[in-house]
């Protein structure tokens, strides 16, 4: 019987260094010879990537928070069916740039939607599937936004105010506090070497 692969997600607010650290994580997996699939949310399949474009593009029409939430989960359902579940079943690891914790943080914290509603959709779309480890890059949003501003035009989320990102951070942190075995909170304000040493320790702890 094939052993299910590990499901790892990378999370954090804007400008925490997700892309750089994602490259570190996938490089490390390659060195270990662990087969993996790298993907992202919202997105990861052609349909889900189209939903991502709809979600991220700036528009005149205000987007209703519940409509936003349902689009996020629509993309997730497709992504799970087409990419994540088949890869895990093949015994491959899945490294996902954001997942449902981002929904609790952005739609729950940022948009202030009810966490019970998110939990209901989570259970409906994912069943009992949860990430094995959530690598949370934690940074003061003031610093994060400053860093993010250097990397080009802001999308619909990046255009939110500081208060929004403070709520995002608090939501992430409170979820991590409630389940310390599953979450690794990594101080993204440290030097890159230290961040990556922390990441490596987390990855090593997942190898059976
Ligand atoms: P990023 O992949 O460049 O971080 O952009 C994705 C954006 O989508 C980011 O601003 C967070 C947002 N997002 C949500 O609001 N809810 C979600 O569930 C996910 C996965 C992402």
**Distance of alpha carbon 99 from its chain centroid, rounded?**
4
Residue 72 Cβ inside 6 Å of ligand 1? The answer reads yes
pTM over 0.75: yes
Q: Which of 11, 15, 66, 106, when mutated, tests ligand 1's pocket best, judged by the most ligand atoms within 8 Å of its CB? A: 106
The per-residue pLDDT for 200 is 98
Q: CB atoms < 10 A from the CB of 197, how many? A: 13
Question: What is the pLDDT confidence band of residue 16, given thresholds at 50, 70 and 90?
Answer: very high
Tell me if 106 CB under 6 Å of ligand 1. yes
Write down the pLDDT at residue 184.
98
Least confident of 26-30, 89-93, 151-155, 191-195: 151-155
* Nearest atom of ligand 1 to the alpha carbon of 103: 18
68's CB contacts (< 8 A; 6+ apart) are 55, 107, 111
Ligand 1 within 6 A of CB of 104: no
Whether pLDDT at 1 is above 80: no
**Paired tokens of 152:** 């080009």
Q: How far apart are CA 88 and CA 5, in angstroms?
A: 5
Residue 18 CA, closest ligand 1 atom number? 4
Evaluate if residue 169 carries a pLDDT over 90.
Answer: yes
Residue among 17, 25, 113 at smallest CA distance from 73 = 113
Q: Which residue has the higher pLDDT, 139 or 149?
A: 139
Å from CA of 208 to ligand 1 middle = 31
Q: 153 pLDDT exceeds 90?
A: no
The stretch 94-120 carries a mean pLDDT of: 98
Ligand 1 centroid to residue 154 C-alpha, Å: 13
Flag the least confident range among 24-33, 117-126, 150-159.
Answer: 150-159
Q: What is the DSSP letter of 5?
A: P
Question: Given this model, what pLDDT does residue 171 score?
Answer: 98
Whole-number average pLDDT of the chain: 97
For range 137-166, the mean pLDDT = 94
Residues in the chain: 208
pLDDT band for position 61 (cuts 50, 70, 90): very high
Non-local CB neighbours of 3 within 8 Å, separated by 6+ positions:
91, 208
Residue by residue, DSSP assigns 197-208 as HHHHHHHHTT--
pLDDT for the residue 25: 98
Percent of the chain predicted with pLDDT > 90: 95
Alpha carbon distances (Å) from 145 to 29, 149, 179: 29, 6, 27
Which is it for strands 133-138 and 183-187: parallel, antiparallel or unpaired?
parallel
Which atom of ligand 1 is least distant from the CA of 42?
20
**What integer pLDDT is reported at residue 158 of this predicted model?**
93
């Amino acid at each position: 019987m094939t052993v299910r692969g590990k499901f790892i997600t990378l999370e954090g607010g804007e400008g925490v260094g997700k892309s750089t650290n994602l490259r570190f994580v996938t490089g490390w997996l390659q060195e270990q010879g662990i087969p993996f699939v790298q993907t992202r949310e919202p997105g990861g399949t052609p349909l889900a990537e189209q939903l991502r474009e709809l979600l991220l593009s700036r528009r005149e029409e205000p987007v209703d928070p519940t409509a936003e939430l349902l689009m996020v989960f629509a993309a997730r359902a497709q992504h799970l069916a087409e990419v994540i579940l088949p890869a895990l079943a093949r015994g491959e690891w899945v490294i996902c740039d954001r997942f449902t914790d981002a929904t609790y943080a952005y739609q729950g914290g940022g948009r202030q939607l009810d966490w019970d509603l998110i939990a209901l959709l989570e259970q409906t779309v994912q069943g009992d599937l949860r990430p094995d480890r959530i690598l949370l890059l934690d940074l003061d949003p003031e610093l994060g936004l400053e860093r993010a501003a250097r990397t080009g035009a802001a999308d619909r989320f990046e255009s939110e105010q500081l208060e929004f990102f403070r709520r995002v951070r608090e939501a992430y942190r409170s979820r991590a506090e409630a389940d310390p075995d599953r979450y690794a909170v990594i101080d993204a304000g440290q030097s890159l070497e230290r961040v990556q040493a922390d990441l490596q320790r987390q990855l090593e702890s997942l190898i059976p």
